[in-house]
Amino acid sequence: MLKMEASGKLLPMVIQIQPPSASCPTPPLFLPADPPLAWLLAKSWVRSSDFHVHELQYHLLHTHLLAEVIAVATMRCLPGLHPVYKKAYGSHHEPHSLLHDWGPAPKTLAANQSLRAHTALGKGNAWSSMVYPRQRRTLSQAVPRNPRLGVSNRRPTSFRPPLLPIP
């Protein structure tokens, strides 16, 4: 539970680390009046949890599992003379120079249970928490709704998609 001060700053009042379950119907609540180390541990737990959610949902999902797939598909499927290819990769003459030298990493991470064993992503809930934000993503979110650009009133047609033209 958070309390908002008059200055607009949010401060924690009560921290509950785990939800109620059959094995623990009343999980412990941590208060600022608790011993300082217990309160610090509870705040650290919340911060760590928030960081891992960010890493899973935004960094890993949006950067590595979504954007890199699009980048590799673009490099492999578009010819070098295509305007999108020129815009995205500019003066890079060798497409593979944009990618890191992974070495044995793909084989190691693709191995069964390896991602769980070598990272702090957790166990079964890691993958389900990455699926949730992906379900909300639609193509309409990629198009800016800016009246100055004349995008909000454009209707899609069979020969013109509802996206902005490439400059």
**Rounded CA gap, 72 and 95, in Å?**
9
Spatial CB neighbours of 57, under 8 Å, sequence gap ≥ 6: 129, 130, 132, 133
Q: What confidence category does residue 115 fall into, taking pLDDT thresholds of 50, 70 and 90?
A: low
Q: What confidence category does residue 36 fall into, taking pLDDT thresholds of 50, 70 and 90?
A: very high
In this predicted structure, the answer to whether residue 18 has a pLDDT above a threshold of 60 is yes
In this predicted structure, the answer to whether residue 158 has a pLDDT above a threshold of 60 is no
Q: 93 phi and psi, to 5 degrees?
A: -85, -30
Least confident of 3-7, 27-31, 89-93, 143-147: 143-147
DSSP letters along the chain, please? -EEE-TTS-EEES-EE-S---SS-SS--EE-TTS-HHHHHHHHHHHHHHHHHHHIIIIIIIIIIIIIHHHHHHHHHHS-TTSHHHHHHHTT-S-GGGGS---TTHHHHHHSTTHHHHHSSS-STHHHHHHHHHHHT--GGGGS---GGGT-TTPPP-SSS-SSPPP-
Per-residue pLDDT reduced to its tens digit, 58-108: 777 777 777 777 777 877 888 878 777 777 666 554 444 444 444 444 555
Residue 57 or 129, more confident: 57
pLDDT of 96 reads 46
In this predicted structure, the answer to whether residue 34 has a pLDDT above a threshold of 90 is yes
**Rounded CA gap, 16 and 37, in Å?**
16
